[in-house]
Structures are given as structure tokens and as C-alpha cells.
Copies of this chain bind each other. A is one copy, B any other.
Amino acid sequence: MVKKSQDDIKNLIVGTAKNLFSKFGFQKTTMNEIAQSIHKAKGVLYYYFNNKEDLYVEVLSRELGEVQGELRKILNNAKLSATDKLEHFIKKRIQLLKDVPSYSEIIRNDLIEAYNFTEQITKQFDDFLKNSLMSVLNEGEENGSMTFKDMNITVENLFFVLKSSDISILLKTEYKRFEKTVNSLTDFIICGISSRTM
């Protein structure tokens, strides 16, 4: 009972913080605003979190966790071929990330001046991406739908291309061409990776 209540408050804080951070960004969101939004004194935030950065990391962590959950569904879908998994994975990933403003913020700040306190969580998310790619490529190679000279290098390259695309896609607000770009790029990658039988 007591534990339940504590979790509720914590969730309330994180949920509110998520909205405010997504609206105003990390710097322009104040701990006071967050506290006021839940009609509590500022001090209570420090009962549940060590500091502002930790709260932000918690928000980011949950959001990226949800993204990972969605992507895992694709990877675990037995009905999909490896190629289809890769295709859906790439498209879904960028689509989901568009709705995680904190991720865009981190990318932006990474290019200018780093938020080093998010390193850990973004590193973990990067590892998830690499592992996911590795698993799909492995599956593809095993059933012969894909071929590679060196799979590790291919994973690294795919990783690089996807991360680079993140910057272009998430930071440049060209919403019109967004979907088309993603689709084309995905096809381009899939096509390059697939075994061709001509």
C-alpha cells in the first residue's frame, strides 16, 4: 500500500516532467514548474530524485524503453522474414523517435555542447540498436536471404548510416519529405543488403 503510493507519486512526477521537458526542453524547464504542476512543494522532487539531471534521465530512459519495447515486437514477430523485419525496424524506429523530443534534444546538444549526463542511457540505446541489427542480419544470413563479407562491419556501417540519418531527419524539420525520405532510404539499404538473384 505504502509502496504503491510512492510509485504513484513518482510516476506522476515523471509524467509531468515528460510533458514539460518535451515542451520547453531540459534547460528551460524548472523544478519549480514541475512541482507546481503536481501541486506540491519543490522539495518533494528531491525526495524522489537526486537532482534535475537524474529526473531527466529517468524521463528519457522510460521513453527510450517504450521505443525499445515496440521495436522488440517487430524482432520477435515470427511471421516476418528477416528482410521485412529489418525494413519495419528501420521505419518504425525513426517514426517512434520523432515522438521522443528528448532524443532530438540530445542529438542537437551532442553536436553543439554535450549533455554528458545522458551518456549512459544513450549508450545503452545505441547498444540495443547494434544488437538488434546483429540479430536480424544473423537471421537473414542463416536462411540465405542476406549475404555479407563481414557482418560486424556491416552492422557498424548500418549503425553509422542510421545514426547519421537521425540527425538529418530529426533536426531538419522538413515534415513533408520526411516519410518519403525514410521509405526511400530504407529500400536503399534493404536492397543493398539483400542477396540478389538475377
Question: A residues near B, CB below 8 A?
Answer: 108, 111-112, 147, 149, 153-154, 156-158, 160-161, 163-165, 167-168, 171-172, 181, 184-185, 187-189, 191-193, 195-196, 198
Contact = CB atoms under 8 A, between A and B. Distances in A.
28 contacts: A108-B111, A111-B111, A111-B172, A147-B198, A149-B191, A153-B188, A154-B188, A156-B184, A157-B184, A157-B185, A157-B187, A157-B188, A160-B165, A160-B168, A160-B181, A161-B161, A161-B165, A161-B188, A163-B168, A164-B165, A164-B167, A164-B168, A167-B168, A188-B192, A192-B193, A195-B196, A195-B198, A196-B196
Contacts of A195: 196, 198
Among A153, A168, A172, A187, max chain B CB count under 10 A is at A168
Number of identical monomers bound together in the oligomeric complex: 2
Given A108-B111, A167-B167, A192-B193, A160 B147 contact: no
A171 to B, nearest CB: 5
Contacts of A193: 192
B112 A184 contact: no
Given A163-B168, A167-B167, A168-B167, A191 B192 contact: yes
A187 to B, nearest CB: 8
Nearest to A188: B157
A168 to B, nearest CB: 4
A189 B192 contact: yes
Contacts of A192: 188-189, 191-193
A154 B191 CA distance: 10
